[in-house]
Structure 1
């Protein structure tokens, strides 16, 4: 298990040990599957934001995100960063903002969300938009 805040700032390393491609800025979550879909990073050369699909990640852990041989950056997906997002319950009440997200580094599955009002189970995720993350009342 790892937290999104632990991943931010990690170097993105290609296979073969050459220099880093950039630094992780955030992780994109596919709400439908409840998994991390992309690793977003700032390109070390030009400062552009790029994204790699989760399938391109070989390992992720303290110190770096290491990529597989066939890792090709993609345009950044339009999903919003979960961290700092307002949380609304499907009944219309507010549940604070997202402080952190725990996920499994092997499967990319989201395990839990930590908000300013407490922990939410990953299976409560319903939708993510520009305004808020919507979760199922539990």
Structure 2
């Protein structure tokens, strides 16, 4: 599933009983190469809730079905937007900007990141912060 296709999807409880909001963003742990949380916009004045990816029971082109939040602490890590991030290698070489990313909604594994320079396999992700997405260059390190 592509990040761009998930953004803005409705987030529903099982049976469609309640609409929690819409997907605002996905939180990525680049070191483990996985999507860890879904950030749900509840409305203009109602703020945002953060759900662990494990709360997602089903994902498709029409929306996400999630177990309702229990109101406890989410324990969500800090969020850095993957889409639009600058891409750098571990040697500091510029590798474009993130356009999109493909992930497996069942386990959150990042399969590939599409950049303005081409596709980067998910197994080359090293870190994501405010400044950039850092990827392994795939060749010998510079001295």
**After TM superposition, is the score higher than 0.5?**
yes
Summarize the alignment of residues 1-138 of structure 1 with structure 2, pairs less than 5 Å apart. Answer: 2-44=1-43, 46-68=45-67, 71-72=69-70, 74=74, 77-138=77-138
SS at match of 1:80: coil
Distance 2:60 2:3 in 1: 11
Larger radius of gyration: 2
TM-score (norm 1): 0.91
CA-based RMSD of the aligned residues comes to: 1.7
For structure 2, the 5+ residue unaligned runs are: 139-143
After TM superposition, the runs of 4+ consecutive aligned structure 1 residues lying more than 2 A away are: 44-47, 70-77
Report if aligned partners of 1:21, 1:44 keep a CA contact under 8 Å in 2: no
For structure 1, the 5+ residue unaligned runs are: none
Report if aligned partners of 1:20, 1:44 keep a CA contact under 8 Å in 2: no
TM-score (norm 2): 0.88
